Structure 1
């Protein structure tokens, strides 16, 4: 029989077991499958691509160091989200809040002034999100930007479902208040 054998990609449980046995390449493959989503979360929570990359690299290192302690109580992706969230939360705690300014008059639709106002509104929203407490920002980003359900957010953050719902509600209320002048 002629033909070449094509190596099939390993499934997640196999990669996980190999990584827990110390196989760096298996861990890289496993973590690499989730890297884009984890980076996107870090960038949304931190609001800075460079900081997000730093947070992700540090989280990957944390995960590698702790891979043997992963028990499988949740999905590997959920475990990784939690590590990234914890890393981002630590970085946010070390920051100082940025004030949000009020908008000027409302220009005519479809004008360059209107386009500039929309850009300013998006920038104000970014600053408003940056002004949220880290626990509120993380829950809000996981729900509103990543589209995760409450059960997943509970597992990622380690907070109760009531706490998660409360944090998302408080974030929405605070953002609505800050962004009211931009409506």
Structure 2
């Protein structure tokens, strides 16, 4: 946490130094009649500067001296640009205790930013794996051959043996094929050996 706070305060010092560099050398002196109590009073005095350059330099000095801004209902607020957040403070500048809370909030802010980044990377990785899986699945489906439908004649033969076609498709040694011919031959033999019944003679 000490490294985070140190880097944070270094950024604030650099920002404040940037405003100070805008001030000409003659504006370094106390240009107000009495010391202002906050930024708003300081800015009101800066508006009375003789030239635009002096006004700009005076406003930069006000911004460097006072971090807080007046609130409508009383008290002050402090805007931390590193967190993009506003904090309520009692005076025109944060007290050491208030500054400590602001620094702790900044540490928590960085932790939340890291967690959000890690979560976003995890979601992106999961989506990428899902896309790869879907592509592999589609490729596998395309490789599977489509089954060919069996011919209707073969289906009929396999379903009912009695529906077998006549002719060359019937094996000679098959009993089911030979039985009709044997049955016809037996019927002819019975007719030959069975005498024809004689008609009875008519009585005169």
Whose helix fraction is larger, Structure 1's or Structure 2's?
A: 1
Higher relative contact order (CA 8 A, sep 6+): 1
Is the TM-score greater than 0.5?
no
Q: Which has the larger radius of gyration?
A: 2
Return the TM-score normalized by structure 1: 0.28
The structure with the greater share of residues assigned to strand is 2
